[in-house]
Amino acid sequence: EPEVTQTPSHQVTQMGQEVILRCVPISNHLYFYWYRQILGQKVEFLVSFYNNEISEKSEIFDDQFSVERPDGSNFTLKIRSTKLEDSAMYFCASRQGARREQFFGPGTRLTVL
Amino acid sequence: AQSVTQLDSQVPVFEEAPVELRCNYSSSVSVYLFWYVQYPNQGLQLLLKYLSGSTLVKGINGFEAEFNKSQTSFHLRKPSVHISDTAEYFCAVGEGGGSNYKLTFGKGTLLTVNP
């Protein structure tokens, strides 16, 4: 069964550094998402991406964040200058065209020191 | 914007007992409802979904949920739980259309099944 994959599983970085989180969505899916979950809190929507552009972004997704689909398979989230409060689990998700369910990857745990 | 309320942050139960995890959502014209499960140190796995049709939906691992429009609820149930059901359970509602569609999650309920 096809799955969403994410790398790395855990990323440790120093405050102010740039990080890139990588995702490979399910191959025939058209809509791509990033969510995050701060420890002990709920999963929050960050951004949705369709047809090579951002469809919607939350207020969390400020100028420090960007997303890209550099080729036909990868979907990346970049944080330009990390802050302590960016420490969280970041989930990538994808969705097939007309279907409503989203399929999530295993997540990348980002720790900012 | 939608909101999702999971009233119980933690639910401890004994093995083989029944369980109900509660979820309420803010009303909307079209409602798409989901339960996801997160096992320790793992990602989110889709447990079941309500999109339309029968209000009682069955999912994986013996779980089921009932959509109640009048009470704006989508409670998750299992008649007899196992130790392996210990996990965090998230209720989510889908909102928006087309490329603006996204999920809004509740805060989660930690189900702990004790022997």
* pLDDT tens per residue, range A12-66: 999 999 999 999 999 989 999 999 999 888 899 999 999 999 999 999 999 999 9
Distance in angstroms between the alpha carbons of the first and the last residue of chain B: 41
Strand B4-5 with B24-25, pairing: antiparallel
Q: pLDDT grade, residue B99 (50/70/90)?
A: confident
Chain mean pLDDT for chain B: 92
Give contacts of A 83-102 with B, CB under 8 A: 91, 93, 95, 100-102
Q: Nearest Cα to A89, choosing from B105, B25, B80?
A: B105
Tell me the per-residue pLDDT of B7-59, one tens digit each, with 9 for 90 and over. Answer: 999 999 999 999 999 999 986 667 899 999 999 878 899 999 999 889 999 99
Nearest to B100 among A55, A95, A100 (CB): A55
Is residue B1's pLDDT more than 80?
Answer: no
Distance in angstroms between the alpha carbons of the first and the last residue of chain A: 37
State whether A51 and B44 contact (CB < 8 Å): no
Buried b (16+ CB within 10 A) or exposed e, B3-13: ebebeeeebeb
DSSP alpha helix (H) spans, A52-94 = none
Mutate which: B28, B102, B107, vs A, most A CBs within 10 A: B102
Mutate which: B44, B74, B95, vs A, most A CBs within 10 A: B44
Q: Which residue of A has its CA nearest to B51?
A: A100
Q: Give pLDDT, residue B29.
A: 67
